[in-house]
Chain A
Amino acid sequence: MTTGTFCPWQTININKLPAIMIKNEINPMSQAHSDFEDVKAPLLFTKDNSNESRQEIIDELKKVLTPYTEDKELLGGINEETNLITDLKINSANLVDIIIDAESKYNIEIDLDSAEKMTNVGSCIDVIVEKMNLKT
């Protein structure tokens, strides 16, 4: 078993890393920097935009969206066409929260022009992938 120091307060088992991180030889020795204590999620780095990686981002995105939608059952069945407001009934007042949480989760910065595109799950993934690719 190989272990690595993930951050000063957490150790991870590399064998249990998501496959996409291993496949793309991503350095897991990183941690999302968050100004907000409620978001402390390991980063999921990806260099590609394959269906597999997009599905992994959807799975992570569900966790971001969970606090802001009351219909958890609907959240379980989201796909790229799912609209955040009309389908998930997320109040528009929470849209900035979601952008901030996504920034923290993936250690990216989402500019205003990109943020306005994030109306459905697919466009959220597009923006996240685009910003993550800018880092690599």
Chain B
Amino acid sequence: MTAVLLRASSTSRRFGDVVAVDDVSMHVQAGEVVGLLGANGAGKTTLIRMLLGLLGTSAGTVEVLGGPPDRARRRRLGYVPQNLGLYRDLTLRENLAFVAGAYGAARPAVPAELRSYADVLIGDLPLGAQRQAAFTAALCHTPEVMLLDEPTSGVDALAASRLWDTIRDRSDAGVGILVTTHNMQEAEQCDRLLLMSDGVLVAEGSEHDIIGDTTAIAVHTDDWARTFAALNAAGQPVVLDGRAVRVAEGDPHRLGQILATEGIAARLQPVPATIEERMMVLARTTSGAA
């Protein structure tokens, strides 16, 4: 029976009339990496702040390591915000010294890959190294559960996979990790995904589960510019896709009609949607319903 390190049970949070988080239940177990996805305004940030104990709940409960997120429990938690939480005008070594001092922990060793950067100001390091440094700092007090905000945003593919090696190292050692991301490459690296939209947890599971049965339409044609113009003029959510054209959400029949009136020959093929397209469809339905 794997320990549940983070749990939200029917958690809600309102700000005046706005319901930022609506009856959300989720959990993160030891040894797993869970990705939290959602458009802006979906409620991700509010949920995270409740899990961190920075914000109270309006309804439901939040548990960190088996109890409410008080200071004692927060000491056993590691958090890396998007802007790193490091001091840009201090060196790597000095930053690690500060964090260690603040948590009363032993100063962590500078990891091998960062050794050449040990006495360089954080502000002068390349982004990949900065992110790795931030992660190292968050580990110095050996947390049992971690929250990472877009850990590899902006970093090149190779450095990102190296960073994920480090993250996975920790999860293999039993740490439970919650990652928020906008990035499909990052989402792929997680064991399980949670998709929030408009405060509600809409889907959960693998990438396949998240996309569900949302489909997009790929339009294969010789004259992409005219095809694009025609569909765009008709108000369809159409985008370029290499040399083809893709409609995020649409009725193949209707699309066929539009193209026929323009005299454009094309082959229409339903394809699985991307996660972003799923989010877009969700955003449309909620704003349509409102």
Please determine whether chains A and B interact with each other in the same assembly.
Answer: no
